[in-house]
Amino acid sequence: MQGKVVIVGSLNMDLVTRAPRLPRAGETLAGESFVTVPGGKGANQAVAAARLGASVAMIGCVGDDAYGEQLRSALLAEGIDCQAVTAIPGESTGVALIVVDDNSQNAIVIVAGGNGHVSPEVVNDLDALLGQAEVIICQLEIPMVTVGHVLKRGRELGKTVILNPAPASDALPAEWYAWIDYLIPNESEATALTGLAVDSVASADAAAAALLRAGVGKVIVTLGAQGALFANQASSQHFPAPKVKPVDTTAAGDTFVGGFAAALAEGKSESEAIRFGQIAAALSVTRSGAQPSIPTFNEVQSFQP
């Protein structure tokens, strides 16, 4: 049976160039290619959860422009409920300017556009949709006040609440931690939240301990090729990453979050859900782009390490 995942978050059109390396300040570099690709952390996580087996609804805002229509169509094509994706008159759709280098690293600048209109009032009007969720996911590409509102409401409704604190933020409001079941930062986000330099399993363990002390239920620090570190109040466990040849890491974290949530909503154990999300993320880095890189349930099931 499909479990329902509701995502409150961003939709961006990604404007992606490939270049030999990332440009330095003041430098003009010749790029090798340019494509527009549906993205945005919220929408990417929605696509991941849907392709990986969940019934998904998206809550978000786009502009009343061509990009907004294209992003909505991309989600509808995945069978995602988009009734709560609103086009804001006179606003532009969120965009992400992305450069990917020959080492498959990226640099991203985002412009919020419609994402800035996802207000607590918008979410209040959709309370019935939140009530249908088994898992609720937020990221930090919509206003912080709305994220806090969703986390609190999710806790009140007794849902499984996931926060992917991306892009990196120096601090989260202290009261948020008690509303979060799973906090899922990557290395740089865990570093920003804790002030500890997170670049290894041991340092991720220390950062997770600090976040647990702040009051969060469970922490999963994603570490790219070094795997993921899961921690709760009782113990911590390292999950090594499947080995793959990376092409583009854009949306790898989103794929992990969406896959983990889909597996949890389906009733898998935490360990199974983490491994499932890791395989999905590993497959995503072998392909270019955000949403186009996200694998299907069958691809994850048939993955041979």
Interacting residues toward ligand RIB by CB under 6 A? 10, 12, 14, 39-41, 44, 96, 108, 110, 141, 250-251, 253-254, 290
| CA–CA distances in Å: residue 11 to residues 41, 45, 59, 219 | 7, 10, 10, 25
- Which class for 32: exposed (0-12), middle (13-18), buried (19 or more C-beta within 10 A)? exposed
**Which residues neighbour 89 within 8 Å (Cβ) at sequence distance 6 or greater?**
64
Give min distance, CB of 55 to ligand RIB, in A. Answer: 22
Give min distance, CB of 37 to ligand RIB, in A. Answer: 7
236-239 vs 228-231, strand pairing mode: antiparallel
Give min distance, CB of 168 to ligand RIB, in A. Answer: 12
Active-site residue 125, yes or no?
A: no
Q: Which is nearer to ligand RIB, 75 or 214 (CB)?
A: 75
What are the φ/ψ torsions at residue 13 (nearest 5 degrees)? Answer: -90, 125
Give min distance, CB of 40 to ligand RIB, in A. Answer: 5
Of the residues 14, 181, 205, 254, which is catalytic?
254
Q: Which is nearer to ligand RIB, 45 or 55 (CB)?
A: 45
What totals of helices (H) and strands (E) does the chain contain, helices first? 10, 13
User: Which two three-digit tokens encode residue 206?
Assistant: 């220390």
The residue with its CB nearest to ligand RIB is 39
Q: Which is nearer to ligand RIB, 39 or 113 (CB)?
A: 39
Give min distance, CB of 76 to ligand RIB, in A. Answer: 18
Q: Which is nearer to ligand RIB, 10 or 55 (CB)?
A: 10
Give min distance, CB of 67 to ligand RIB, in A. Answer: 11
Structural element, H or E, at residue 179: none
Q: Which is nearer to ligand RIB, 3 or 42 (CB)?
A: 42
**Which residues neighbour 131 within 8 Å (Cβ) at sequence distance 6 or greater?**
157
Percentage helix, strand, coil, to 5, in the chain?
40, 25, 35
Q: Which is nearer to ligand RIB, 209 or 244 (CB)?
A: 244
DSSP string, 262-280: HHHHTT--HHHHHHHHHHH
Burial state string for 69-107 with b = 16 or more CB within 10 A and e = fewer than 16: eebbebbeebebbbebbbbbeebbbbbbebbbbeebebe
CA atoms within 13 A on the CB side of 11: 34
Strands (DSSP E) found in 45-116? 55-63, 81-88, 94-100, 106-111
User: Which residues are catalytic, by number?
Assistant: 254
